[in-house]
Structure 1
Amino acid sequence: MACRRLAMRRLPLAGASPCASRMSTAAALSATSVSPCRQASIRSYSRLSQYNGGLLGSASRKSQQFVNASSIFNVQVRSYADMVVKVPTMAESISEGTLKQFSKQVGDFVHQDEEIATIETDKVDVTVNAPEAGTITEFFAKEEDTVVVGQDLFKLELGGAPAEGNEKKEMAGEESKAPADASQDPGSKQAPPKEEREESGSASETKQESTPSSSPPPAPEPPKQAEQPKPKAEPPKPAAPSKEGLGNREEKRVKMNRMRLRIAERLKQSQNTAASLTTFNEVDMSALMELRKLYKDKVLDKTGIKLGFMSAFTRACVLASRDVPAVNASIEGPNGGDTIVYRDYVDVSVAVATEKGLVTPVVRNAEALDFVGIEKAIAELGKKARDGKLTIEDMAGGTFTISNGGVFGSLYGTPIINLPQTAVLGLHAIKDRPVAVNGKVEIRPMMYLALTYDHRLLDGREAVTFLIKVKDYIEDPRRMLLGV
């Protein structure tokens, strides 16, 4: 330790600049005889006033210099900073979420843009990535906690290398083994051998036998009383039904995720706000199915897109809304709304079922897309929904919704309006049914259509007119291609 004290006495006083401190340190060490088994450590600190990043509130930077004792001119400098990462801005309408999981642990080294946490919101899951490479030193929240935008989430020690994190884990493992080793102290007292215990036990018994008893004689037993008659046994009660006969009756309680809670809230809000009414009709799918049969292979070979029925119904709704613009409008304003907003564009929300719940990504500007363009947009949104990669922008907005319950076998249904929209079209399963065609009974593939609309904005005449126009376009798809 003498060489270390001598080196430290030659260091400059506190208050000198970090650069001057390092130069003076090197000069002091070069003039000092340093033992080859020692190492000098000099630390300097500086404060960052601002970090160019929206997630950070503050960051402190520290540098540590290690001087190799065997070569006093070999100075190794390691710089690192503490960065506090906050909950990012998720969307204009979302201010909080539930912290679902941390994919890393304290002490783990992470690379830049590596995923650290997942926050579940009302609509999508938001991932929080590492803005810089470094080591996680602290978490400021626990899983299942509600976190708000701008809240401290975790702390990073910037710089370093993955090996440092591994060394910390190894040191932690050695420390955890220390108490276990201490419990096996060779100096602790051991139990006496079995023979000694037996000898001591026999000696104590002999001592007890040789000692005269000083206890008083036992008292005489009291005379026995006459036996009383036993009460009559009650008749056996019927046995409770065996649980085995009822089978397995376990219950499982699972907390609703934020998306499920939001769906429940929105649907109930729609029922309480809109004057919902549903009108039905049926459509003959023969012509559309024949058109799809003729061209689906050619479309697939040329574009790689599978031609379905959703593109035809989307196009039919776009054309029908030109004659009934209130279907594509909405009510806005205070106290339930006092203003009608009409639009010259159609953003169609397409309902997609996922494991977490129903989501409605939006096909933008559907009025400008043809069949193939609509199918391509729907396919991309459906894949993102199933992979859990939908963004807030994918689901924001929407002026009209189409829900296809027929893919699950639904025959009838009354869909609920997706506020602030005015109407939603429900598609159902295609079934062969007997229908009258030109005075004759024929078997045709038929589908029931259901249009739920807000009666505050749409009258019955307008709603029925819209649905009839959709039916006519589907039964003669050539009209959609010609725009008549």
Structure 2
Amino acid sequence: MLSKRMIAIARGRALNRAGIVTFSRGWDASVSRVRAAKFHSSHLLCAETVKVPQMAESISEGTLRTWLKQPGDTVQADEEVATIETDKIDVSVNAPAAGTITEHLASEEDTVTVGQDLFRFEPGEVGASKPASEPKPTKETEPKAEPKAQETQKPAPPPPPSKESGESKKEVKESPKPAPSKSEPQPAPPRVPGSRNETRVKMNRMRLRIAERLKESQNAAASLTTFNEIDMSSLMDFRKKYKDEVLKAHDVKLGYMSAFAKACCLALKEIPSANASIEGDEIVYRDYVDLSVAVATPKGLVTPVVRNAEGMNFVDIEKEIASLGKKARDGKLTLEDMAGGTFTISNGGVFGSLYGTPIINLPQSAVLGMHTIKERPVVVNGQIVIRPIMVVALTYDHRLLDGREAVTFLGTFVF
């Protein structure tokens, strides 16, 4: 018979075993709960949806022009993800925080509206290691039998032909060459002389808006154009004398636009009707000058505004025009850069234009067109001399300006 002491010891061991088993079961349950929690807090549930941003009061939709980031790409906070083209400006859609793009909810060339879901992204530090639900096997944990299995699956290289076997040499030489893959680009078919192909391209929103505005101007304004010639000798000498000094002191090139802009400000002060506009049955006169400067971009002509040009000097005007021109070419203009404008200057001379009749930028009442400089024989003090001549054109709304005022305006440009 077992003693009472031995029975007690046996019972204690049994209790210990039961306690160990109970603990292990509890631990397994807690591990499973942790794994379930990790699954339910996956990054898919943390993904955020980015909507089409508010663009302006007058703009409610646009065309999704370009996706700059694709699903799987990482982005930094405020990094540009997509570009939406409107009839006035291009709107950038930026990432609200650092993370990874997970899904596009619209395609390029789709029309999107303000507030529409645009893309989903997964917030998180770029470059930070993400907790993986199923760790990938490392080289140390990979079974060693796999490489051997892979090695056995590889076909053994053919034995080199022996010197005595001449047939094998012939077989190697006469082996057929591999056929060219289908992915290789095929040469384009030769163009047939006299081809009459046509290509149709959808007009972008900006070009549609430009066409609408220009036709509206022709239909609404009583447009008339008057011309004058300018002897550019004095201005060219002035620019030649000071351009290096201005570039060195202010890091800006001294051009002709600043001189014409300043002359326009003086002329608009003398002829206030050229700086006015018609609103209903009233004429609005302004004591400030906001110059719209026409800038050519790949998408069309835009007219960013130089605010309060009447209080600027040559250097200030050149800096502002250079800044606006760069923003226009980079597609970074905002609505604030183009809103308003009381008078427009268009310099077609940089492209070699000799004559031209610019179209009024409504609701403005006049626009000045500058043209290229050509040396011509002119009469000065009874003598025929060669002088650099520019033709300038003023298109004005005859409802506000008469011919006398238009000619007086151009008479200011006598350098």
Instruction: Report the TM-score, using the length of structure 2 for normalisation.
Output: 0.75
- Say if 2:68 and 2:81, in contact at 8 Å, map to a contact too: yes
- Rounded to whole Å, the distance in 1 between the matches of 2:393 and 2:132 is 65
- Counterpart of 1:304, as a letter, is D
Pick which of 434-443 and 424-433 moved more.
434-443
- Rounded to whole Å, the distance in 2 between the matches of 1:446 and 1:371 is 22
In the alignment, which residue of structure 1 is the partner of 2:63? 98
In the alignment, which residue of structure 2 is the partner of 1:151? 116
Secondary structure of the structure 2 residue equivalent to 1:300: helix
User: Which residue of 422, 431, 448 maps to 2:365?
Assistant: 422
In the alignment, which residue of structure 2 is the partner of 1:369? 312
- Rounded to whole Å, the distance in 1 between the matches of 2:229 and 2:101 is 60
Structure 1 segments unaligned to the other structure (5+ residues): 1-27, 45-61, 66-77, 172-242, 476-484
User: Which residue of 275, 298, 307 maps to 1:328?
Assistant: 275
- Counterpart of 1:119, as a letter, is I
| Residue identity (%) | 67
- Say if 2:44 and 2:122, in contact at 8 Å, map to a contact too: no
In the alignment, which residue of structure 2 is the partner of 1:85? 50
- Listed as ranges, the matches of 1:47-446 within 5 Å are 64=41, 81-159=46-124, 244-246=192-194, 248-332=195-279, 337-446=280-389
User: Which residue of 403, 408, 411 maps to 1:465?
Assistant: 408
- Say if 2:361 and 2:367, in contact at 8 Å, map to a contact too: yes
Shift of 1:465: 1.2
Shift of 1:39: 7.9
- Rounded to whole Å, the distance in 2 between the matches of 1:139 and 1:258 is 22
- Rounded to whole Å, the distance in 2 between the matches of 1:366 and 1:425 is 15
- Rounded to whole Å, the distance in 2 between the matches of 1:347 and 1:254 is 36
User: Which residue of 370, 395, 399 maps to 1:456?
Assistant: 399
Greater relative CO, 1 or 2 (CA 8 Å, sep 6+): 2
Change (3 A) 1:412 1:161: closer
Shift of 1:357: 1.0
Change (3 A) 1:300 1:167: same
- Counterpart of 1:64, as a letter, is S
- Counterpart of 1:417, as a letter, is I
Shift of 1:279: 0.6
Secondary structure of the structure 1 residue equivalent to 2:77: coil
- Counterpart of 1:316, as a letter, is A
Shift of 1:323: 1.0
Instruction: Report the TM-score, using the length of structure 1 for normalisation.
Output: 0.65
Shift of 1:270: 0.8
Secondary structure of the structure 1 residue equivalent to 2:107: coil
Change (3 A) 1:149 1:286: same
Please provide the CA RMSD for this pair. Answer: 3.0
- Rounded to whole Å, the distance in 2 between the matches of 1:87 and 1:140 is 11
Pick which of 392-401 and 108-117 moved more.
108-117
- Say if 1:80 and 1:159, in contact at 8 Å, map to a contact too: no
Secondary structure of the structure 1 residue equivalent to 2:93: strand
- Say if 1:135 and 1:165, in contact at 8 Å, map to a contact too: no
- Rounded to whole Å, the distance in 2 between the matches of 1:110 and 1:433 is 58
Structure 2 segments unaligned to the other structure (5+ residues): 1-21, 137-190
- Say if 1:63 and 1:79, in contact at 8 Å, map to a contact too: no
- Say if 2:62 and 2:111, in contact at 8 Å, map to a contact too: yes
Q: Deviations over 1:86-127 (max 9, x none)?
A: 111112222211001222233444332222211011122111
Secondary structure of the structure 1 residue equivalent to 2:87: coil
- Rounded to whole Å, the distance in 1 between the matches of 2:408 and 2:126 is 68
Pick which of 306-315 and 121-130 moved more.
121-130
Change (3 A) 1:29 1:257: farther
- Rounded to whole Å, the distance in 2 between the matches of 1:286 and 1:155 is 61
Secondary structure of the structure 2 residue equivalent to 1:41: helix
- Rounded to whole Å, the distance in 1 between the matches of 2:409 and 2:130 is 65
- Rounded to whole Å, the distance in 2 between the matches of 1:447 and 1:302 is 29
Shift of 1:252: 2.2
Change (3 A) 1:320 1:35: closer
Shift of 1:244: 4.1
Shift of 1:85: 1.5
How many equivalent residue pairs? 339
- Rounded to whole Å, the distance in 1 between the matches of 2:23 and 2:327 is 62
- Counterpart of 2:105, as a letter, is F
- Counterpart of 1:448, as a letter, is V
Shift of 1:366: 0.4
In the alignment, which residue of structure 2 is the partner of 1:43? 37
In the alignment, which residue of structure 1 is the partner of 2:156? none
